[in-house]
Structure 1
Amino acid sequence: MKLKLSVFALALISVLAVNAQELESSTLWKISGNGLEQPSYLFGTIHITCDASIDEDVQKALDETSQVVLEIDMDDPALQSKMMTGMYMKEGKTIKDFVSKEDYTAVDSLFIKNMGMGIKMIENVKPFFLMAMLYPKMIDCPMQSFEMSLVQVAKAQNEEIKGLETIEEQLQVFEDIPYEAQIEDLVKMAKDDLSADKAKFAEMLKIYDSENVSKLYNLIKDDSSVVATYEDELLVKRNKNWIPKIAEYSKEQPTFYGVGAGHLGGENGVINLLREAGYTVTAFQ
């Protein structure tokens, strides 16, 4: 349960944005140069999928590194309790404070249909987390996650698992984005009965399977969701904050990084930012 809850949080802010350059089609990249004695590897994940099997190239990269670093340390024993604490809206706010009676009924019906419960018991949960609860309903299969797979490999290899940011830093994103904006997307999901979201998620999975990270990054170019509006909070600032951490970890020892594939592309994507910092980042062939 702890890992699944963490994956839902990751999925919330694993976002895509408008690409400024085309990258080679690969979800696995080698980081070298700039004084590194041994290369590290950067893997673009998808947090919710039908098949999170580790392929031969990714396994080879895992074998050549000595620690796994994800967006957050998903092996932290206090992770679940910290997430539970950060799930609720501040100042006693609930969804009822932001929506009409009609919209509240639509959201309630959505949860009854898909979750087997009404919204009343969880109406004080931040809207982003409510949407995350519905993410497994986007796919017609048991949910799998590359983060879970990577954690399993790291444990099997007796390697340490670390994070590029703390869970507190990640949760702060949901405070930086107004509740009103979050709720607007939730109401859209409810009124559409997840139809558009399922179609978009299916497209995202198809593009991810093709490893076209530039096309994946471009997916929301014409999107009107909160993700596009608050790209800076959800993506850019986090990517920039990760670069010094990647530099530090990579200097210490060869490291395998697993982050949402939406973080890879674009002018402010992790690949370009690492190159600007002096590293050679090449598609794994």
Structure 2
Amino acid sequence: MGMKRIAASFLSLLLAVTLFAPAASAAAKPVALQVDGERVGFDGHAPVIDRGMTLVPMEELFEALNFKFEQDAKSKLVKGTKNGLTIELENGRNAAVVNGQSVQLSSAPKQIEGVTYLPVRSFGDAAGYEVFWDEASRTVILKSKEVAASGRGFLWEVENAGNKVYLLGSMHLADASFYPLHPSIEQAFEEADYLGVEVDIAKAADPETQELVMKLGAYQDGTTLKDHISETTYAKLGNILAENGLPKDALDAFKPWVVETTLSTLQASKTGYEGQTGIDLYFLTKAMERKLPIIELESYESQLGMFNGFSPKLQEDNLLAVLNNFDQVDDSVTAMADMWKTGNDAALLELVQEMGKNEEFNKAMLVDRNIAMTDKIEGYLKGQKSSVYLIVVGAAHMAGDIGIVNLLEEKGFTVTRK
């Protein structure tokens, strides 16, 4: 599989998260908790997801994090101590006191069937852990911040007229090995007044988004996929669906770009990479907990419209490339993840140059979008409010002559690699 095909899959898989978010959220597996590589056991009361937040039984969480646990039944006050760190909590109060300082929690401690539950992400942050979610195993993973950071990534800084923009080139898909992120990335988020993303994928399951997917991605004229692709391509698709326990015509209602995205999602999941563990969703979740304003640089309409606007030939070529390589465990996918984790600028540039070999694909996927996003970022840099922005978009949007970094430099800004 060539680098161009990999690049297309990883960029488009942001849309795959959009298309199939409801299936992910409906997964039947129980939620698990892992701390520094060790799975935590629960006696009768497991973690739960409530309004998008993962809640964990309080006593088991304190024990798993090696905190000495004290509880005053009369005052409803709970105190945990560990290595000079003291955290105090009170039922019904959505703030903790950490070494005398008040720290906001994403929700108050909550009673469920007589057991007190805590929001694991905000408590883990307060206790000195990185917290993230592995969708494949439905596991909340906590890693001590003392563990060496795995994800250097691609981070740049731009300042102008009292405003600062951090540019983070993202991986839309990731796994547990990406975390903790490099301290410079976390610091950029802590400074930020706004989080900017391509689209807010937390809205993926909204009825309006799903309706748009069906409107653009499914045939509306009575034809089916079989009428729009070659017999050879259709036969290959049917064989792969059958091998995966699905009817050969399971995706007949959808256009080639939707089918490609579906198969790319299945293919990537075999390697362990998930959108739910991606860099974008990691920061979207943290921004929601901080109540940080979220800015969308694009829209679902523009992204879905871009894929829908690909020529029939390009749609079939992309689909056929996935079909031809579907059963291969491609080392290049891991190589791309390693590229991100080590912040390998040369490898990123090579990937972007490979994508540029198809003029139609390159113009739609990168050139036009990069120009539009750069114009919005320029607006932030020239704003009147002296604000800090963390902009998180796919890493391939950053590199090369057509990348956002170079486009900003051409506008006269100084962009510094972090």
State the TM bucket, normalised to the shorter chain. Answer: 0.7 to 0.9
- The residue aligned with 2:72 is none
Q: Distance in 2 between matches of 1:278 and 1:249?
A: 15
- Runs of 4+ aligned structure 1 residues displaced above 6 Å come to none
Could you say what secondary structure the match of 2:199 adopts?
coil
- The residue aligned with 2:334 is 202
Q: Distance in 2 between matches of 1:247 and 1:220?
A: 23
Deviation at 1:244, TM superposition (A): 1.9
Aligned partners of 1:67 and 1:161 also within 8 Å: yes
Tell me: CA distance 1:263–1:90, structure 2 relative to 1, closer, same or farther (3 Å).
farther
Deviation at 1:222, TM superposition (A): 5.1
Given residue 170 of structure 1, which amino acid in structure 2 is its aligned partner?
Answer: Q
Tell me: CA distance 1:106–1:10, structure 2 relative to 1, closer, same or farther (3 Å).
closer
1:133 correspondence with 2:139? no
What stretches of structure 2 of length at least 5 have no aligned partner?
1-11, 19-151
Which 10-residue stretch deviates more, 235-244 or 48-57? 48-57
Alpha-carbon displacement from aligned partner over 1:127-170 (angstroms, at most 9, x marks no partner): 22222223342342252211110111101111121211111111
1:182 correspondence with 2:315? yes
- The residue aligned with 2:389 is 255
Aligned partners of 2:399 and 2:406 also within 8 Å: yes
- The residue aligned with 2:416 is 282
Q: Distance in 2 between matches of 1:233 and 1:240?
A: 11
- The residue aligned with 1:67 is 194
Deviation at 1:103, TM superposition (A): 2.6
Alpha-carbon displacement from aligned partner over 1:68-126 (angstroms, at most 9, x marks no partner): 11011334444344334332246444321233334312111223334x32352322323
Aligned partners of 2:157 and 2:415 also within 8 Å: yes
Aligned partners of 1:7 and 1:145 also within 8 Å: no
- The residue aligned with 2:362 is 231
Of 404, 407, 410 in structure 2, the residue corresponding to residue 270 of structure 1 is: 404
Tell me: CA distance 1:93–1:178, structure 2 relative to 1, closer, same or farther (3 Å).
farther
Q: Distance in 1 between matches of 2:217 and 2:388?
A: 34
Deviation at 1:215, TM superposition (A): 1.6
Aligned partners of 2:241 and 2:250 also within 8 Å: no
- The residue aligned with 1:47 is 172
Deviation at 1:229, TM superposition (A): 4.6
Deviation at 1:193, TM superposition (A): 3.1
Higher RCO (CA < 8 A, seq sep 6+): 1
Q: Distance in 1 between matches of 2:154 and 2:236?
A: 38
- The residue aligned with 2:26 is none
Given residue 186 of structure 1, which amino acid in structure 2 is its aligned partner?
Answer: L
Higher helix share: 1
Percentage of matched positions with identical amino acids: 23
Aligned partners of 1:126 and 1:179 also within 8 Å: no
1:215 correspondence with 2:342? no
Alpha-carbon displacement from aligned partner over 1:10-48 (angstroms, at most 9, x marks no partner): 789xxxxxxxxxxxx950111113x2x131211000111
Tell me: CA distance 1:102–1:230, structure 2 relative to 1, closer, same or farther (3 Å).
closer
What stretches of structure 1 of length at least 5 have no aligned partner?
1-5, 13-24
Q: Distance in 2 between matches of 1:223 and 1:275?
A: 22
Of 232, 236, 247 in structure 2, the residue corresponding to residue 118 of structure 1 is: 247
Aligned partners of 2:352 and 2:400 also within 8 Å: no
Given residue 196 of structure 2, which amino acid in structure 1 is its aligned partner?
Answer: V
Which 10-residue stretch deviates more, 202-211 or 91-100? 91-100
Tell me: CA distance 1:217–1:89, structure 2 relative to 1, closer, same or farther (3 Å).
farther
Q: Distance in 2 between matches of 1:131 and 1:97?
A: 16
Larger Rg: 2
Tell me: CA distance 1:230–1:154, structure 2 relative to 1, closer, same or farther (3 Å).
same
Aligned partners of 2:16 and 2:262 also within 8 Å: no
Tell me: CA distance 1:126–1:53, structure 2 relative to 1, closer, same or farther (3 Å).
farther
Root-mean-square deviation (Å): 2.8
Tell me: CA distance 1:271–1:224, structure 2 relative to 1, closer, same or farther (3 Å).
closer
- The residue aligned with 2:14 is 8
Of 161, 165, 169 in structure 1, the residue corresponding to residue 294 of structure 2 is: 161
Given residue 106 of structure 1, which amino acid in structure 2 is its aligned partner?
Answer: K
Q: Distance in 1 between matches of 2:355 and 2:411?
A: 31
Aligned partners of 2:198 and 2:298 also within 8 Å: yes
Aligned partners of 1:8 and 1:132 also within 8 Å: no
Of 85, 90, 95 in structure 1, the residue corresponding to residue 225 of structure 2 is: 95
Q: Distance in 2 between matches of 1:142 and 1:173?
A: 24
Tell me: CA distance 1:157–1:110, structure 2 relative to 1, closer, same or farther (3 Å).
same
